[in-house]
Structure 1
């Protein structure tokens, strides 16, 4: 008995999912988005803990960070939630006339906002509530956030860097979601999620919802003198790390890249290759 969907069946499932998402009541979509933001935040926190320490084996550390981060998407996909980066694939639903552009944009607005609030609230709970990040781990949170906001997005050396990091990231994330959608058992879903997510994190790509945790965690952690001292960064230089730079220095460019990666490189490509109800073009 076959335990997975074929690519044309996977494409049809993607289109049906887009319609189902648009049918969700706003309150339910928002709560599910809050949960997804928190789920990705849990994974980002764990990645922060794993990243702390010696960087002698950078490649191994990147692999381990990616490995533990993959459980965030497992939480978001398997129990069910609304994650904006995955919902970028709803573009195919508009192209196949399953949903309207207005319905898609309404979903995106609700889900993106919910993801942001859920991730920031988790960062606040972890950093301010647990006491786990007032020293060495807080220093790691600060360094991660500082690196994500201090590096110029549109500078000469890094022109459009975060856009393309976001594109490549969500290309892999949405493939992970489709593979999980294709699998008909829990083991297949876990394996389907693990490898693409491990690959995007280990490769250094950028996920907008993950950064909704990483950057606020660093902002909150810089209120701890011990964490700032352990980071090795000059306190004055941390003035660049704030809510404004979170968006202008990272989130906006990464979000646009995520949109292109999931919406164009995955959803539209799958629709073109395998067709839909209103586009009968199947690969033989």
Structure 2
């Protein structure tokens, strides 16, 4: 009887991520825009669910339990992206490994990031608008509405460096989850490591740029106190968290694994 490995080794995973990077870099505009729109929508839908559940649990469940449950729910969004084949800016930071291997150009990398980033934003913004229009946040006592507004305020009021650092930590874990998903060929094997890594960043309060594309507009739309929030605060959060996400996923995962497994083999 011949047994075959049902998973990839770390070096094989690195090569698979390189090939995926090449495919993403060469994808046409329409495909990237559509899949990016879906990616932003999936993350926003998961974010809405996670936020609603965490606010609904209240203080009686304990902060740790609330974050744990919220993290598991949010991981559904990343799972939909991976299994459904959508495009997500934070995960695409791994494309830096293709740049390190000289399989893609910087221009192609930036093209992908820009298209996917703004497509993610449109998808997340649509969900925020639909969620606002649904009035699902109008619960007795307006606890969920207040929670959304306070969450948006706390994010927007973050100074650059704390937001940047939280972005780095967040996408270090998210990108490791995406990276580990390349180890398995079956759906279950791809979901479990992804969910574990993604849940971890939610538990400690990392900042995810695409998730914030939902949380900030949703809080702004619901706004009890958001009218006093200047727009530059929102842009500062998005800029610092986005840069942090690039460092966390692109440098601390993609570049590090390239150096570990592919650097010596490059011609």
TM-score range, shorter chain: over 0.9
Counterpart CA distance in 2 for 1:69 and 1:239 is 28
1:258 and 2:253 matched: no
Mapping for residues 45-60 of structure 1, pairs under 5 Å: 45-53=48-56, 54-56=58-60, 57-60=62-65
1:22 and 2:25 matched: yes
Secondary structure, in 3 states, of the residue corresponding to 1:12?
Answer: helix
Counterpart CA distance in 2 for 1:278 and 1:101 is 21
Deviations 1:26-78 (A, max 9, x none): 01100100000000001110111112142240111011111110000000110
Give me the TM-score of the superposition, normalised by structure 2.
0.93
2:77 aligned residue (68, 72, 75) = 72
* Stretch of structure 1 that moved more, 53-62 or 118-127: 53-62
Secondary structure, in 3 states, of the residue corresponding to 1:21?
Answer: helix
2:98 aligned residue (93, 106, 117) = 93
* Stretch of structure 1 that moved more, 141-150 or 28-37: 141-150
Mapping for residues 25-40 of structure 1, pairs under 5 Å: 25-40=28-43
Counterpart CA distance in 2 for 1:241 and 1:81 is 33
Counterpart CA distance in 2 for 1:37 and 1:241 is 24
Secondary structure, in 3 states, of the residue corresponding to 1:82?
Answer: coil
1:7 and 2:10 matched: yes
Structure 1 residues 246 and 143: CA distance shift in structure 2, 3 A: same
Give me the TM-score of the superposition, normalised by structure 1.
0.88
Q: Please tell me the root mean square deviation across aligned C-alpha atoms, in Å.
A: 1.5
Q: Which runs of 5+ in 2 are unaligned?
A: none
Counterpart CA distance in 2 for 1:267 and 1:146 is 32
Q: Look up the match of 2:123.
A: 118
1:142 aligned residue (113, 127, 149) = 149
The offset of 1:241, in angstroms, is 3.2
1:244 and 2:239 matched: no
1:83 aligned residue (82, 88, 94) = 88
Structure 1 residues 149 and 185: CA distance shift in structure 2, 3 A: same
2:112 aligned residue (93, 107, 111) = 107
Counterpart CA distance in 2 for 1:80 and 1:270 is 23
Q: Which runs of 5+ in 1 are unaligned?
A: 155-159, 223-227, 229-234
Counterpart CA distance in 1 for 2:101 and 2:261 is 12
Counterpart CA distance in 2 for 1:262 and 1:149 is 22
Q: Look up the match of 1:208.
A: 209
Counterpart CA distance in 2 for 1:8 and 1:84 is 24
Counterpart CA distance in 2 for 1:277 and 1:55 is 52
Structure 1 residues 19 and 240: CA distance shift in structure 2, 3 A: farther
Counterpart CA distance in 2 for 1:278 and 1:113 is 35
